Amino acid sequence: MLLVRGSGYSGWRSIGFRPPFNRSESVELPPDALIIPLEISGQAVAVLYFENTEPAAASSEPGTPNPALEILARHAARCLESVTAFKAARAALANAGDGGSDTSDEASVDEDAAARRYAKLLVSEIM
């Protein structure tokens, strides 16, 4: 699994790669790499990268990932999206429960409002 960082990727976790990807280090992929994006709200935040060492099945086209891997990636993206939504909602509720402080500046108020809007959007998409 690689995290999307701007126009590149950084390692997060690798299984079966020799040498393994180091966490947070930039990763260069070959131009013909097979990747499946993990999207949250339509934006790719990570990709599932794999190297196919087995010959392609007769029914699949060259360069296309295994349908089971695509299903796995879509499920992982939805789980990630729901976890993010619940954490954002919990953080928004915790901030609202503090009653606010008189020393908060306008930037933190804008950030709180943006977090609440994002949490509401994600929760509505999940429902």
40 lies in which domain range?
2-126
Confidence of residue 106 (pLDDT cuts 50, 70, 90): low
Statement: residue 53 has pLDDT above 70: no
Find the angle CA(68)-CA(30)-CA(45) to the nearest 5 degrees. Answer: 60
Statement: residue 56 has pLDDT above 70: no
pLDDT of residue 29: 83
pLDDT of residue 104: 52
Q: Which own/partner contact pairs does 1-6 have at CB distance under 8 Å and 24+ positions apart?
A: 1/38, 1/46, 1/47, 1/48, 1/49, 2/27, 2/29, 2/35, 2/46, 2/47, 2/49, 3/45, 3/46, 4/37, 4/44, 4/45, 4/46, 4/47
Of 96 and 23, which is predicted with more confidence? 23
Structural domains in the chain (count): 1
What percentage of the chain has pLDDT greater than the value 70? 74
Confidence of residue 65 (pLDDT cuts 50, 70, 90): low
pLDDT of residue 58: 45
- The pTM (predicted TM-score) of the whole model is 0.54
